[in-house]
């Protein structure tokens, strides 16, 4: 799990151009949107692209997105549970 979380952090930093951050700066349990990392709706689209491109996963029910993208850990858990 820790390896996947680190990999996700690196992927997000790279794809979202979070140049000033290192993986260690991101708390795996902190909120991605709003007060935490401060991501927005455009970033949400990028996260969907990362999930599909890198892990071959689609979010079947859009209503699940809010919970899946709550934090880095929740994304990692979704990947672990669904990756074949």
Partner 1 sequence: MKIFIKGIGSISPQNTIQNTLIDADIIQHHTEYLKCIEPVYKNYINPVSLRRMSRIVKMGVTAAQLCLKDANLTNTDAIITATGLGCIEDTENFLNSIIANEEKLLNPTPFIQSTHNTVGSQIAIILKCNNYNATHVHKGSSFESALMDALLLMKENEANNVLLGSSDEMTPNLFKITQRLNLWKKEPINHLKLSECKTKGSIAGEGAAFFALTNEANTSNYAVINALDVFYKPATNDAIDQRISLFLANNQLKTDEIDLVVYGINGDVKSDGIYNHLMESVFNKSTSTYYKHLCGEYHTSTSFAMWLSSIILKNQVVPNIIKLNNQPIKPINNILIYNHYLNKNHSLILLSKC
Footprint of partner 1 (CB under 8 A): 15-20, 38, 42, 45-46, 49, 52-53
Q: Which is nearer to partner 1, 1 or 38 (CB)?
A: 38
Nearest approach, Cβ of residue 72 and partner 1 (Å): 18
Nearest distance from C-beta of residue 46 to partner 1, angstroms? 6
Distance of CA 59 to the CA centre of its chain: 13
Distance of closest approach, residue 47 Cβ to partner 1, in angstroms: 11
SS3 assignment, position 39? strand
Residues in contact with 9: Cβ distance below 8 Å, sequence separation at least 6, in sequence order: 23, 26, 28, 72
* Residue closer to partner 1 (CB basis): 1 or 49: 49
- CA 52 to chain centroid: 12
């Amino acid at each position: 799990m820790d390896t996947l979380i680190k990999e996700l952090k690196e992927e997000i930093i790279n794809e979202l151009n979070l140049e000033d951050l290192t993986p260690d700066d991101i708390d795996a349990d902190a909120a991605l949107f709003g007060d935490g990392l401060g991501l927005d709706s455009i970033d949400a689209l990028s996260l969907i692209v990362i999930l599909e491109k890198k892990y071959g996963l689609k979010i079947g029910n859009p209503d699940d997105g809010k919970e899946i993208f709550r934090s880095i850990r929740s994304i990692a858990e979704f990947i672990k549970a669904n990756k074949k």
